[in-house]
Structure 1
Amino acid sequence: MINYDYTRFLCESNKYKRAFFHTLLLQLAPWSFNRDKEENARCFPSEEFTQIASQSLSSLNSDVSNLITLIELARTRNIHQLNIMLPYSLDEKEIAKITKHTLADIQQFSDDRESLQVSLL
């Protein structure tokens, strides 16, 4: 099980405006995982996932698009349970769209803070 704080990603992505070139490089980052493998081997799996996710997500994309990317990234990393902390709840249409694209079992919780529990089969 991996916990990912999407709220943190949103806060960090708003700290600065990205130039077009920098954004383009971030979109190409998923193909550069091999060079970071040795560096990431020294951290906890949740930290490694957070680092990789920060390279794969973009503040230019919608939340739904970013969450689909995040879930697909978890699937490629053989993560079967992903908990995503959110700053706000998603509506039923957004959850349905994410479920349709990822084929994941998604449950939304609104306890102390909003979160999604994603089960990947």
Structure 2
Amino acid sequence: MSGDRMDKQRICAVFDYTTFLGTSSSKKWTFSEALKSFTPVFGMVWNEAVKDSKTPEERLWENALKRLSSNHSDESNLIDLVKLAKREGIEEIKLVMPYALDEQQIEHIQAGCDVHIKVGKQDEFIITL
């Protein structure tokens, strides 16, 4: 196999921003989230134990619920989402939006986090990190 090279599998995620907006506005704290916020050491140990059992896409969703806000602009949230995805090793995000992003929004997001955004079908965007 000297001439062959093994291609590693790309880590991709699908993120439905419409679902995120609905979920984030009605989010209630779980017992473990409350415990982690009041006892930081427990939170660190818990996060490491749970991190290994979840996919990068699941961790992205959870982190997005903690970090993004429906009070922020969509561009700001999407820039933060891309930064979270990079930390999880995600290389591509299929972003489903409730509406199409205009060219200026796309350029702002691309410039804000050094990514490439390709317009997909309807209100879907492929973000390559």
The answer to whether TM tops 0.5 is yes
Which residue matches 1:77? 88
Q: Which runs of 5+ in 2 are unaligned?
A: 1-11, 28-42
Give the aligned residue type for 2:67. Answer: S
Which residue matches 1:116? 125
Q: Which runs of 5+ in 1 are unaligned?
A: 17-31
Pick from 31, 40, 43 the counterpart of residue 51 of structure 2: 40
Question: Quick check: 1:89–1:110 contact (8 Å CA) kept in 2?
Answer: no
Which residue matches 1:100? 111
Give the CA RMSD over aligned residues: 2.3
More divergent stretch after superposition (36-45 vs 73-82): 36-45
Which residue matches 1:51? 62
Could you tell me how far 1:8 is from its partner in structure 2?
0.7
Structure-2 change in CA distance of 1:33 and 1:74 (3 Å): farther
TM-score, normalised relative to structure 1: 0.75
4+ residue runs over 6 A deviation: none
Larger Cα Rg: Structure 1 or Structure 2? Answer: 2
TM-score, normalised relative to structure 2: 0.71
Could you tell me how far 1:9 is from its partner in structure 2?
0.8
1:12 aligns with 2:23: yes
